[in-house]
Structure 1
Amino acid sequence: MNQFFISFLAFVAGVLLTIQGGLNTQLGMLLKHPLLATVTAFFFSLCFALLLVLAGVKSYPSGEQIRAIPIYLWFAGGLFSVLGVSLYYYTIPKLGVSTMISLGLCGQLFFSVLAGHFGWFGLPVEPLTLKRAMGILAMGSGILLINLK
């Protein structure tokens, strides 16, 4: 796939996550608890993901491959996902969707640059350059402008 198409898919993912946040925030308000909305969202996410796996995965990992996976990788991503998603559902009705998403993106942006610079989590190292720092400042300024009342 070319870089433009992959970038477009990343943009679409952001749109879908914003829609998901808005819909599940409504569910959380109607259920009177953001964690109940999170459980519901993850349950149905599991159902949809299982359908996609059954329809599209041609081969599965061997027992040896599964045993080679560090134990924390089985649950750590899920833990952070539940915490992050629940915080989205909790804060969107209090802040508004554009404020929450922009602040969430700000957190993602700053932490991803830090994690990329040091190559944390086994990811490729992406050194912090002057151009990247200027991009962070530009996006940070945009986020501030979005949130100024």
Structure 2
Amino acid sequence: MTPLLALGAIGAGSLLALKAACDARLGALSADPLLAAGVGLAVAGLGLSALTLASGLPPSSRLAEVPLWLWLSGGLLTALATSTLCWLIPQQGLGRVIPLCLAGQLITSLCAAGSGWLGLPRAPLSPAALLGALCALVGVFALTFDPD
């Protein structure tokens, strides 16, 4: 990965943490985490729809090749993750919840990369990658489960 792409990934991670914080605050102030998640996803959907229409759609033959479950699964998983974060963050705080989210993403991405889930590029796990993941997970648990 080039340094520029790595910075882009770090920036996207920062945006996800800020999005989770905004959604959680909206959920706390409105006393309805599901409403907050729904509003956030609706605004995102409208914005992405406008960008998609402005940039032009792919040919309909290409779109028809995509299985229905794939059209639906990303949105459903996003709704579940967003609503869970809207509920958890006001109770536990951003500094505890987001590291645990990173742990979940790390574990899932290593499993997905190792087995090539969903037709994504397969990347066998090296001992160095497993050691790095273990160190990251230890760091997450040190951040999250402090004895206070």
Q: How many residues align?
A: 146
For 1:33, the equivalent position in structure 2 comes to: 32
| Cα deviation, residue 66, structure 1 | 1.7
Shift of residue 30, structure 1, vs aligned partner: 1.6
Aligned match of 1:82: 79
TM-score calculated relative to the size of structure 2: 0.93
Is 2:129 the partner of 1:132?
Answer: yes
CA deviation vs aligned residue, 1:59-87 (integer Å, no higher than 9, x gap): 42222112111111111110001001111
Distance 2:117 2:132 in 1: 21
Gaps of 5+ in 1: none
1:72 is aligned to 69
CA–CA distance in 1 between the matches of 2:23 and 2:61? 38
RMSD between aligned alpha carbons? 1.3
Write the distance in 1 (CA, Å) between the matches of 2:136 and 2:142: 10
Residues 97-116 of structure 1, C-alpha deviations (whole Å, 9 max, x = no match): 01100000000001110111
- Counterpart in 2 of 1:3? 2
TM-score, structure 1 normalization: 0.92
After the TM superposition, list the runs of 4 or more consecutive aligned residues in structure 1 that deviate by more than 6 angstroms.
none
What is the rounded CA distance, in whole Å, between the counterparts of 2:128 and 2:90 in structure 1? 35
Which secondary structure state, in structure 2, belongs to the residue aligned with residue 75 of structure 1?
A: helix
